[in-house]
Amino acid sequence: VSLAPDPLHHTKRAILDTAERLFATHGFKATSLRAITSEAEANLGAVNYHFSSKDALILAVLRRRMTPLNQERIEILTRFEQEADGQPVAVEKILEALFRPPVELVARGNKGGRYFVRLIGQCLAEPGAYLQPLIQEEFAEKNQKFHAAMHRALPYLSSEEVHWRLHFAIGVFLHTIANADVLELSSAGRCRVTSVEGTLRRMITFCAAGFRAGEQQGTQS
Amino acid sequence: VSLAPDPLHHTKRAILDTAERLFATHGFKATSLRAITSEAEANLGAVNYHFSSKDALILAVLRRRMTPLNQERIEILTRFEQEADGQPVAVEKILEALFRPPVELVARGNKGGRYFVRLIGQCLAEPGAYLQPLIQEEFAEKNQKFHAAMHRALPYLSSEEVHWRLHFAIGVFLHTIANADVLELSSAGRCRVTSVEGTLRRMITFCAAGFRAGEQQGTQS
DNA sequence: GTCTATAGCATGATAGAC
DNA sequence: GTCTATCATGCTATAGAC
Task: For B85-144, list the strands marked E by DSSP.
Answer: none
Q: How far apart are CA A183 and CA B165, in angstroms?
A: 10
Who among A124, A178, A214 is closest to B205 (CB)? A214
Query: Are B168 and A175 a contacting pair at CB < 8 A?
Result: yes
Is the pLDDT score of A149 beyond 60? yes
Distance CA B60, CA B76 (A): 25
Quick check: B121 and A118 CB within 8 A?
A: no
Question: What average pLDDT does the segment B127-144 reach?
Answer: 83
- pLDDT confidence of B214, banded at 50, 70, 90? confident
Task: Give the gyration radius of chain B's Cα atoms.
Answer: 19
Structure confidence at residue B130 as a pLDDT band (50, 70, 90): confident
CA B33 / C1′ C2 distance in Å = 38
CB nearest to B175's CB, from A30, A171, A213: A171
Res A218 pLDDT > 60: no
CB-contacted nucleotides of strand C (7 Å):
1-6, 10-16
pLDDT at res. B5: 46
Q: pTM for this structure?
A: 0.92
Candidate from A72-76, B65-69, B81-85, B128-132 with smallest mean pLDDT: B128-132
Residues near B101 by Cβ (< 8 Å), separated by ≥ 6?
Answer: B1, B69, B72, B73, B76
Q: What is d(CA A172, CA B164) in angstroms, rounded to the nearest whole number? A: 10
- Nearest nucleotide over every DNA/RNA strand to the B30 CA, judged by C1': C11
Asked if residues B158 and B166 have their Cβ atoms less than 8 Å apart, the reply is no
Across all strands, nucleotide nearest B12 (CA–C1'): D1
- B52, closest nucleotide (Cα–C1'): C13
* B206–A171 CB contact, under 8 Å: no
CA A70/CA A79 separation, integer angstroms = 14
Helices and strands (DSSP H and E) totals, chain A: 10, 0
Q: Which amino acid is at A65?
A: R
Confidence bin at A216 (pLDDT 50/70/90): low
B49: CB within 7 A of chain D nucleic strand: yes
CB contacts < 8 A (A, B): 192
Please answer yes or no on whether A171 and B167 come within 8 Å at the CB atom.
Answer: no
Partner-chain contact B164 A121, CB within 8 Å:
no
> What phi-psi label fits residue B121: left (phi over 0), alpha (psi between -120 and 50 degrees) or beta?
alpha
Using alpha carbons only, give the angle B215, B216, B219 rounded to the nearest 5 degrees. 100
Identify the pLDDT of residue B220: 42
Q: How far is CA B168 from CA A52, A171, B92, B143, in A?
A: 39, 8, 15, 13
- Which nucleotides on chain D have any atom < 7 A from a protein Cβ? 1-6, 10-16
pLDDT bin (cut points 50, 70, 90) of residue B221 is very low
CB within 8 Å: A126 and B212: no
Q: Model confidence at A122, in pLDDT bands (50, 70, 90)? A: confident
Mean pLDDT, chain B, whole residue set: 90
CB nearest to B171's CB, from A125, A163, A176: A176
Tell me which chain A residues have a C-beta less than 8 angstroms from the C-beta of B193. Answer: none
pLDDT at B168: 98
- Tens-place pLDDT, residues B153-183: 999 999 999 999 999 999 999 999 988 988 9
pLDDT digits (tens, 9 = 90+) for A190-201: 999 889 999 999
Whether the CB of A45 is less than 7 Å away from nucleic strand D comes out as yes
Q: Give A157→chain B minimum CA distance, Å.
A: 12
Q: Which residue is nearest to nucleotide C3 (CA to C1')?
A: A43
C-alpha span between B57 and B47 (Å, rounded): 8
